[in-house]
Structure 1
Amino acid sequence: MNIAIYYVLAVLAGVLAGALITYLFGRFPDKWLQDYGVKPEDPDYRPSKRMRPFPEGLIAAVFCAVCYVVTIYFCKSCYIDEFRPMHLAVIVLVIPALMLVMMADKLNRIIPNQFSVYIAFCGVLSIAAEVLEGSVWFSPDAKWWMLVLNKVIASLVGGGVIWLIGFLSITFLGKEGMGMGDMWLLFATGLITGCYGLVVLIYVSIFSAVIFAVPLLIRKCKRVSAEKKRIANAENPREEKLKIQREKAAIHFAEDPDYMAFGPFLALGCAVFTVMEPFFFEKMFMTIKLFGVYF
């Protein structure tokens, strides 16, 4: 088949996936998109935000289309020419779910457990794909249980690290560091990436988060400076300071301008690894072999 046809199909599949998740996002129960334990009768209850055709729907379609196109570019020889349908199925199924995670955490500051369960299912399918169709990270002589163990260890380590960060933050700082949604997400994505891919996921997540955090920090510094100036110029500085504090207290946690959700970056890291897995293997192979962890 002509390579151009593959790219056209990838774009069409991405557009359809974007339209589908935009529709589904509007149909999910409200409680899925609320923080744990929040009820409509609560005084600080805020109806969950939904994806709109524009800009969220357009962003979703572009993201899915780009991911599928990148898959053709980097994975054609490994997954299409050698025909590994289960590997392709994992990519097709998990990319829209990762986009849903990004949207849910960005719009409502929550990663529904249902999304993580679905991604974990894709992870189980990924394990089956590697056992039945082979893995680029292991030699054909590797035992099947090594492929399974690679995924399980990555899942436990990824979720465990997030849990530990949250535990230490609550214990010593008295505030939540990483949410349970992030923990379950990394637990699920670990089943897809495996140990080697977990390194890529974390690297991409942190690097991309820093890029977005810098302008956020600059904006916060400007806002704090403006607040100090506002207090200094007020006739009653103390009353003005209390007024600013009340304004901040009235902001719903999902609308907090100083908060940056980390879930979207974890999802992005998983997506980048998933659609470029053979590429990362080629770049990391010599290092893996040097450390004696190529089996």
Structure 2
Amino acid sequence: MLKIATFNINGVRSRLPALLEWLDREAPDIACLQELKAPDAAFPIDEIRAAGYGAIWHGQASWNGVAILARGMEPIESRRGLPGDPDDTHSRYLEAAAHGVLVGCLYLPNGNPQPGPKFDYKLAWFERLIGYAARLHDSGHPVVLAGDFNVVPTDEDIYNPKSWRKDALLQPESRECYRRLLDQGWLDALRARYPDERIYTFWDYFRQHWQKNSGLRIDHLLLNPQMAPHLKDAGVDRWVRDLPHASDHAPTWITVDLKVQKPSAAKKAVAGKPAAKKAAAKTPAPRAQRAKSAG
């Protein structure tokens, strides 16, 4: 059984103790992190390796940043950054093969305030994701798109839509982009597991929203047809949100019963291989070393 998780850490250095506690207790095989808010040199690779994980990361000072962790192995990087806009300097997409699966870790732009240039950038980035995701969907290999999509798909995914109607996360254009992505044939794993329940992944820091369970579902794991039939379970590690100095997100995860492929097989699913090599050359992957068991 393979466990894959996504977690908007909201500052990897300041919330490192919570991250390490979660890795030790829940032991995901693959963990996608967003909002590192740290440049590459500040990524806590030594502590993560000591916890039993290899990692690749794409950092950015003060904002954004994504990482993929793999238990007991080094992820094989296949892409960093979405194709389609060479002038986009935001660290929002990272992709790797690990444990026989191809994983795309993403942090979609928030888009607030809207209307305005930030919302325009959100929609433009979403269009690039939709275009690239079609290639991943049709690759023939098991693929997971995991991350903070900054989209509340429906009114059933938020505690009170009325107070958020002007927010970029609920705009019709944002929701339409998400629907178009799903229409390619991706399975929204958490909603598939809980079709009739309100389940949240994010609670902001205002007005005791965590204490009142006034949440939103914006962290998603999407499975292509080669992965979806193997879904066994999905959930949210709510206890992490209750830790001191917690992120406003909780880790969201799936388990799949998938016959493991060699990492090289999953890596072949990726188009645009030369670009991935070029990106990897800019930020060399950490040297492999023997990782101790995380449980």
TM-score range (shorter-chain normalised) is: 0.3 to 0.5
> Which of 1 and 2 has greater Rg?
1
Q: TM-score, normalised by structure 2?
A: 0.33
Q: Give the number of the structure whose residues are more often helix, by fraction.
A: 1
Q: Give the number of the structure whose residues are more often strand, by fraction.
A: 2
Q: TM-score, normalised by structure 1?
A: 0.33
